[in-house]
Chains A and B, each alone.
Chain A
């Protein structure tokens, strides 16, 4: 017991995935926007904070915000998504992270996707293999809405489909593609808010699957901040 060589240090105890994260110098850029802050937004947020929105919101996200997101997602589907099919996250990155945990993928299973994904570093770090579009038999398809591919590009029996919206849900879009009704949707709300200090993301999936994803969101950071969600609601015109 007295042999100092036996004594572990935190630096010496880092996990393999921690070393990979450091070695790969994962570098997502978090750029602050440059927008005018409307005075009414400041008033609205101040009012709600004063009314107690400094405490935990509903864990999956504020009900009205989930309703708004679900309704907007409906433009890509035949029907809007229900509020119980929407989870508010800290960012699109976190949305992808908890979705992958909730899907319970096998390590060798991986996803089939295009090259150069926005969240490639996350997939790599999680150890989720990304197969090329030419690969068949991969059960999960993942694509980005603003890329040139869509779900029709995937061959074979794809059971689970994930579409990453990036900023497209409330950003500029030239055309609205229809997605299959069971598509899992992840995205960011940053274009809506316009300012870095209030980044948010979302996941939308069928309710029972979303419940599993939500349990991982709760384990990873409980819920998205109340003030950020209030600002998102203000930006969406919900300004009580």
Chain B
């Protein structure tokens, strides 16, 4: 350990990472500023955060409570205290692997290719720590979920933004843009479906990206946290479903969004064995194992006789329609939406910028949305609108927004 070089330092002082850290902090603080402001007002309808409002299924709570029945097993056969596994409960890892085989036809070795994390966010941070050296370039879609920024900065990496806005209302990460803007990046962060734009790559597009990344010698971190929230029968493909991609990619996902159980903090990483060894070793020292109680909840989610995901999707689909109808009636354009929990809308016509638009919308009619520049500096006229409020609240938000628009056009 004495041979550690200064360049290996994990922290913000790395000159190369400073920009990413600052952009991440700024973007995050902008969202929190809006949320803090919302707390000071009464009767606010929040279409800001990404925390599913739907009730966690009772079966998941009951499953978590089974943890207590297992507490008699706190000591192993030898009578010695049992050690918690940093990789996660074996049963949970096996079930996740089974799910990948059953639903995607993807073979995952639960012992060697899977790590359970404290939510997908920790998986993201660990993956970047394991893959990014100081000075490395990381290609990210623009706009992007800016929580990536701080983690990239902590590693001393720099962000290379890949424009994703195509003609009209379409957003897509295209392979030619990857070549044009980031051919020297070490890592591509690919978020599918996208936060914040709601775009969803087609199977063909995922395959093409995989090929180009391979040609460029680029590793892919595929964030698939919204994999279960896809609309209009849109079909996509996990990065690990592309032939030959698994040695060159890692997959990040979790239970929070699909099962509305954000508070349990359970996510997971899939990757080649050497990668899982590395992220496990880092997790061992930076946080410790994911709480077993939470892992029991995740296990219960996978064991549910009645799969709640299609029901959740139907609810989100209705809300999405209410939002799209509302925006259409106000003549506000938005990105073509195929998946995830957010709509990405263009407020250019109001001429006041997204930050001011969101501030006034909150102040005047009590509707919270997040300004686009908290998802990338250049999105100063766009806003992110969440589907995570009951339908009647979204309907009311659209009524209030229409009043606001009328007075500000």
Asked, given contacts A121-B285, A127-B9, whether A220 binds B29 with beta carbons under 8 Å apart, the answer is: no
Interface-facing stretch out of B166-174, B268-276, B354-362: B268-276
Q: Kindly state whether residue A208 has any CB partner on chain B within 8 Å.
A: no
Interface size on A (CB < 8 Å)? 80
Decide: A222 and B121 in contact? CB cutoff 8 A. Answer: yes
Q: In the assembled complex, which residues on chain A have CB atoms less than 8 Å from the CB atom of B278?
A: 14, 18-19, 21-22
Q: In the assembled complex, which residues on chain B have CB atoms less than 8 Å from the CB atom of A222?
A: 119, 121, 265
Decide: A221 and B265 in contact? CB cutoff 8 A. Answer: yes
Q: Kindly state whether residue A9 has any CB partner on chain B within 8 Å.
A: yes
Q: Which of A14, A50, A57 has the most CB of B within 10 A?
A: A14
A188 to B168, CA, bound (A): 53
Q: Kindly state whether residue B71 has any CB partner on chain A within 8 Å.
A: yes
Q: Kindly state whether residue B16 has any CB partner on chain A within 8 Å.
A: no
Q: In the assembled complex, which residues on chain B have CB atoms less than 8 Å from the CB atom of A57?
A: 263
Q: Kindly state whether residue B56 has any CB partner on chain A within 8 Å.
A: yes
Decide: A17 and B219 in contact? CB cutoff 8 A. Answer: no
B contact residues, range? 35 or more
Q: Which residue of A lies closest to B276 (CB)?
A: A10
Decide: B64 and A227 in contact? CB cutoff 8 A. Answer: yes
A52 to B248, CA, bound (A): 40
Decide: B11 and A93 in contact? CB cutoff 8 A. Answer: no
Q: Kindly state whether residue A157 has any CB partner on chain B within 8 Å.
A: no
Decide: A31 and B249 in contact? CB cutoff 8 A. Answer: no
Q: Kindly state whether residue B65 has any CB partner on chain A within 8 Å.
A: yes
Q: Which of B152-174 contact A (CB under 8 A)?
A: 154-155
Q: In the assembled complex, which residues on chain A have CB atoms less than 8 Å from the CB atom of B125?
A: 219-221
A59 to B86, CA, bound (A): 24
Q: Which residue of A lies closest to B148 (CB)?
A: A219
Q: Contact mask B240-272 → A, CB, 8 Å, 1/0?
A: 000000011110000000001111110000011
Interface-facing stretch out of B287-295, B312-320, B373-381: B287-295
Q: In the assembled complex, which residues on chain B have CB atoms less than 8 Å from the CB atom of A26?
A: 281-282, 284-285
Q: Kindly state whether residue B407 has any CB partner on chain A within 8 Å.
A: no
Residue A100 contacts which of B8, B11, B65 (CB distance < 8 angstroms)? Answer: B11
Q: In the assembled complex, which residues on chain B have CB atoms less than 8 Å from the CB atom of A215?
A: 25, 28-29, 150
Interface-facing stretch out of A67-75, A160-168, A195-203: A195-203
Q: Which of B154, B215, B286 has the most CB of A within 10 A?
A: B286
Q: Kindly state whether residue B182 has any CB partner on chain A within 8 Å.
A: no
* Shortest CB distance B68–A (Å): 5
A82 to B264, CA, bound (A): 26
Residue A198 contacts which of B55, B154, B273, B293 (CB distance < 8 angstroms)? Answer: B293
Decide: A122 and B29 in contact? CB cutoff 8 A. Answer: no
Decide: A90 and B281 in contact? CB cutoff 8 A. Answer: no
Asked, given contacts A22-B277, A108-B6, A125-B10, whether A15 binds B74 with beta carbons under 8 Å apart, the answer is: no
Decide: A17 and B8 in contact? CB cutoff 8 A. Answer: yes
Q: Which of B283-309 contact A (CB under 8 A)?
A: 284-289, 291-294, 297
Q: Contact mask A14-43 → B, CB, 8 Å, 1/0?
A: 111111111011111111111101000010
Q: In the assembled complex, which residues on chain B have CB atoms less than 8 Å from the CB atom of A32?
A: 74-75, 81-84
Asked, given contacts A31-B83, A107-B11, whether A14 binds B64 with beta carbons under 8 Å apart, the answer is: no
Q: In the assembled complex, which residues on chain B have CB atoms less than 8 Å from the CB atom of A29?
A: 83
Residues of A near any B CB (own CB < 8 A): 1, 6-11, 13-22, 24-35, 37, 42, 45-46, 49-50, 52-57, 90-91, 93-94, 97, 100-101, 104-108, 119, 121-122, 124-128, 195-199, 215-216, 218-228, 231
Residues of B near any A CB (own CB < 8 A): 1, 4-13, 24-25, 28-29, 51-53, 55-56, 58, 60-61, 64-65, 67-68, 71, 74-75, 81-84, 86, 117-119, 121-122, 125, 129-133, 136, 147, 150-151, 154-155, 186-187, 214-219, 247-250, 260-265, 271-275, 277-279, 281-282, 284-289, 291-294, 297
